């Protein structure tokens, strides 16, 4: 396909532009809306890579469920009135933010250029996935055979998180 | 894909868009006449025979009315919101097959716009985006009632989307696929024989509980009564679309009806055999074929028409069901809605998965 690089740069560009908007926007709700666009662009890039299941789940879980929750909380708390005022923040905070961002970026660049792992095609090529019977089947089979332990451990972790939340809230109300 | 494939795809998209866009005017007529029938009134009956031209009169009114933007709204988001509600609604139907395939001149034509591997997960994903239309509208309107409407909408959506997703897991387990084509084809098999009647393997017969949960949750997802709390005319006036007028309001309304059509299509596809023919139609088709009046390609086309007809009948039934329920049941109170969602629907959908697992193991 020769059109896909064009679409990749389109969606990547939009994603970067809206990520900047998430950071620089002064009202929390516009930040949240921009973040939805970013997630949507990610999903589009996954779809370009023929990872349709990941794309659908990206939209369903992140853009669909988690961001609804974010926006719900923002609207419920009326956080829009507290527009962040950057002038009030101290010089120390600004300097340390720039410093740590710089360290982070440098770290990423170092890993990217010095990583011993060559980025190439993994064992699951497009033809193989097609032979197994599509993305969804390939991923579910892997998830419930080879990676069943990490999968179950993740769900236990989430369960612990939920129970923890309930306990914290209950203690306050009692 | 060569040139002819693109043309076929274009025709399919065009036909589907026309069908979806004409759903809203037809349904607005059905809804008004239906509600009138139930309340012992006449409903709109002045414009055309049985008032059938009324939707066109409405459309003209929507288009030529002044379209004011109130001064206190956040303009960008205010204009954006109807679009966010409308566009996802138009795109979700594309994965639902409305007939099987036919071979014309060595080319297999499928009656489905996009045969995606992820199947109905795509519908759930895109439909989940449609909710932002409601949320953005309520927030941009800068009005307490509108904001209440969108807060209600977002909390309702989170609560019911969970049960909806879990209820269809039973279907995935039974048919072991998320591809809608596979699911429909599998539903053509015979489940068991009851005397001389063959009971087909329709979703409703293998997933009765799952069907019930799914049916209730789609009412909540489409904001229809008894779950129309985001609108709630008697409590918060009209909720999220309170500040909208003329064509912008019409877009919200059309999005609602198109979403109804999509979930009706999904209900028919997952639980009522999709394009599998209605009882009796097979025998009719066979008798045509035996008498020799139909053969070859004509027979195939008649089969496709029969399948499409069956699908449309099933969808139309659910559309009517939506209207029927709307004018029969009162609205929930908000705490009842939340309690029902989390304490009844959610555990029930988990029980459904467990029962399905046991059922598959035993069978």
Per-residue model confidence as pLDDT tens digits over B57-107: 888 888 888 888 888 878 888 888 888 888 888 888 888 888 777 777 777
- Whether B116 and A52 lie within 8 Å, measured CB to CB: yes
Would you call A40 an interface residue with chain B, using a CB distance cutoff of 8 Å? yes
- Would you say how long chain A is, in residues? 174
pLDDT of B292 above 60: yes
Average pLDDT over residues B302-323: 86
Q: Which residues of B touch A68 (CB under 8 A)?
A: 128, 131-132, 135, 154, 157-158
As a whole-number percent, the residues of chain A with pLDDT over 70 amount to: 82
- Mutation site for A-interface testing, chosen from B135, B176, B181 by largest number of A Cβ within 10 Å: B135
Q: Which residues of A touch B147 (CB under 8 A)?
A: 75
**Confidence (pLDDT) at A1:** 45
The DSSP code sequence of B54-84 is HHHHHHHHHHHS-----TTS-HHHHHHHHHH
- Mutation site for B-interface testing, chosen from A27, A64, A133 by largest number of B Cβ within 10 Å: A64
Tens of pLDDT along chain A (174 residues) come to: 445 788 888 888 999 999 998 888 877 888 888 888 898 888 888 888 877 888 888 888 888 778 888 887 787 776 555 555 555 667 788 888 889 999 999 998 888 777 766 666 666 676 777 777 677 777 888 888 888 899 899 999 999 998 998 888 887 655
**Confidence (pLDDT) at B255:** 87
Mind telling me how many Å the CA of A133 is from chain B's nearest CA? 9
- Whether B117 and A36 lie within 8 Å, measured CB to CB: no
Cα–Cα distance measured from residue B149 to residue B145, given in angstroms and rounded to the nearest whole number = 6
CB B203 within 8 A of CB B272: yes
Mind telling me how many Å the CA of A109 is from chain B's nearest CA? 34
Would you call B161 an interface residue with chain A, using a CB distance cutoff of 8 Å? yes
Instruction: State whether CATH 1.20.120.1200 applies to domain A1-84.
Output: yes
C-alpha distance from residue A116 to each of A105, A111, B92 (Å): 19, 9, 43
Average pLDDT over residues B194-220: 81
ipTM > 0.85 (yes/no) = no
Instruction: Locate the domains of chain A by residue range.
Output: 1-84, 86-133, 144-174
Cα–Cα distance measured from residue B154 to residue B338, given in angstroms and rounded to the nearest whole number = 12
**Confidence (pLDDT) at A120:** 62
**Confidence (pLDDT) at B200:** 75
Mind telling me how many Å the CA of B44 is from chain A's nearest CA? 39
Q: Which residues of A touch B135 (CB under 8 A)?
A: 68, 71, 75
Which residues on neighbouring strands pair with residue B102, listed in sequence order? Answer: B109
**Where is A34: in which H helix or E strand?**
helix A28-48
Among candidate residues B81, B167, B88, B96, the one with its CA nearest the CA of residue B128 = B88
Interface list for A 110-169 with B (CB within 8 A): 134-136
Radius of gyration, CA atoms only, chain B: 22
- Whether B131 and A63 lie within 8 Å, measured CB to CB: no
**Reported confidence tier of residue B336, pLDDT bands at 50, 70, 90:** confident
Per-residue model confidence as pLDDT tens digits over A27-61: 788 888 888 889 888 888 888 887 788 888 888 88
């Amino acid at each position: 396909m020769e059109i896909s690089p064009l679409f990749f740069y389109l969606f990547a560009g939009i994603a970067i532009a809206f990520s900047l908007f998430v950071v620089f926007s002064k009202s929390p709700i516009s930040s949240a809306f921009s973040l939805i666009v970013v997630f949507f662009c990610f999903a589009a890039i996954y779809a370009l890579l023929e990872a349709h299941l990941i794309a659908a789940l990206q939209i369903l879980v992140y853009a669909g469920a988690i961001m609804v929750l974010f926006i719900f909380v923002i609207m419920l708390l009326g956080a829009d009135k507290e527009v962040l005022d950057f002038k009030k923040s101290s010089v120390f905070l600004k300097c340390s933010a720039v410093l740590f961002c710089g360290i982070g970026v440098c770290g990423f660049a170092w890993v990217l250029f010095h990583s011993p792992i060559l980025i190439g095609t993994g064992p699951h090529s497009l033809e193989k996935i097609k032979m197994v019977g599509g993305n969804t089947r390939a991923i579910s089979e892997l998830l419930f055979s080879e990676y069943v332990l990490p999968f179950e451990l993740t769900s236990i972790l989430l369960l612990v998180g939920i129970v923890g939340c309930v306990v914290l809230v209950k203690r306050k109300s009692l | 894909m060569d040139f002819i494939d693109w043309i076929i795809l274009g025709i399919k998209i065009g036909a589907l868009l026309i069908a979806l866009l004409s759903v809203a005017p037809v349904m607005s007529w059905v809804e008004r006449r239906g509600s009138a029938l139930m309340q012992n009134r006449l409903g709109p009956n002045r414009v055309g025979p049985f008032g059938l031209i009324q939707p066109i009169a409405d459309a003209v009114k929507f288009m030529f009315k002044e379209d004011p933007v109130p001064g206190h709204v956040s303009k960008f988001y205010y204009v954006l919101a109807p679009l966010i509600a409308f566009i996802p609604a138009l795109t979700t139907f594309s994965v639902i097959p409305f007939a099987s395939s036919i071979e014309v001149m060595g080319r297999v034509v499928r009656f489905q716009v996009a045969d995606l591997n992820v199947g109905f997960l795509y519908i759930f994903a895109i439909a989940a985006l449609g909710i932002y239309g409601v949320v953005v509208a309520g927030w941009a309107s800068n009005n307490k009632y509108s904001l209440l409407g969108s807060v209600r909408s977002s909390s309702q959506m989170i609560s019911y989307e969970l049960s909806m997703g879990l209820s269809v897991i039973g279907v995935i387990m039974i048919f072991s696929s998320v591809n809608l084509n596979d699911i429909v084809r599998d539903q053509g098999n015979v489940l068991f024989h009851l005397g001389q009647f063959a009971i087909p393997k329709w979703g409703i017969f293998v997933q009765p509980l799952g069907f019930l949960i799914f049916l209730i949750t789609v009412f909540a997802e489409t904001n229809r009564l008894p779950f129309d709390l985001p609108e709630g005319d008697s409590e918060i006036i009209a909720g999220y679309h309170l500040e909208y007028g003329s064509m912008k309001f019409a877009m919200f309304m059309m999005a609602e009806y198109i979403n109804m059509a999509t979930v009706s299509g999904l209900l028919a596809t997952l639980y009522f055999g999709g394009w599998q023919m209605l009882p009796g139609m097979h025998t009719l088709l066979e008798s045509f074929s035996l008498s020799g009046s139909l053969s070859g390609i004509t027979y195939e086309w008649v089969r496709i028409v029969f399948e499409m007809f069956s699908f449309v009948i099933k969808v139309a039934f659910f559309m009517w069901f939506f209207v029927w329920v709307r004018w029969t049941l009162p609205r929930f109170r908000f705490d009842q809605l939340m309690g029902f969602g989390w304490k009844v629907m959610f555990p029930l959908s988990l029980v459904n998965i467990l029962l399905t697992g046991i059922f598959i193991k035993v069978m």
